[in-house]
Structure 1
Amino acid sequence: MDEQRAQEIAHSPDMKHVTYEGTPIYIQHVDENNGMARIFPLDQPEEEKSVSVNSLMEH
C-alpha cells in the first residue's frame, strides 16, 4: 500500500479491510515523511505499533 492510500483509509469514516502480516488492523495515523503507519490489531487495541506502510495490505 502507498502512503496516500493509507492516509485516505486512516481518515475515512468507513471501516476498510486492511491487514498487516495477515492480521486485520486499524490504521491510527500515517507519517508520510518516513512511510510509517501507527496501527493496532482490531482484536488487541493495546498492541499499538509503527510499521512500514508498504507492509499493509488492503483487501
Structure 2
Amino acid sequence: MDVKRAQDIYKSKETIAVHLDGEPVWIEHVDADNGMATVQVGSRPTNTHTIAVDRLEEQAR
C-alpha cells in the first residue's frame, strides 16, 4: 500500500479491511513524511505497532 492510500483509509468514514501479515489491523496514524503507519492489531487497543506503510495490504471488497 502507498502512503496516500493509507491516509485515505485512515480518513474514510467507511470501514475498509486492512491486513498486516495476514492479520486484520486498524490504522491509527499515518506518518507520510517517513512512510510509516501506527496500527492496532486485532481488537486490543494496547497492541499497536509502527510499521512501513508498504507492509499493509488492503483486502478486496
Q: Quick check: TM above 0.5? A: yes
Runs of 4+ in 1 over 2 A off after TM superposition: none
Please state if 1:27 is matched with 2:27: yes
- Residue type of the alignment partner of 2:48: E
For 1:44 and 1:22, the matched residues in 2 are separated by: 17
Between Structure 1 and Structure 2, how many residues are aligned? 59
Which residue does 2:37 correspond to in 1?
A: 37
Percent identity over the alignment?
37
TM-score by length of 2: 0.90
Q: Extract unaligned runs of 5+ from structure 2.
A: none
Task: Tell me how large the CA RMSD over aligned residues is.
Answer: 0.8
TM-score by length of 1: 0.93
Tell me the alpha carbon deviations over residues 9-49 of structure 1, each in whole angstroms, 9 at most, x when there is no partner: 00111111100011000001100100000101132221111
Q: Extract unaligned runs of 5+ from structure 1.
A: none
For 2:35 and 2:47, the matched residues in 1 are separated by: 20
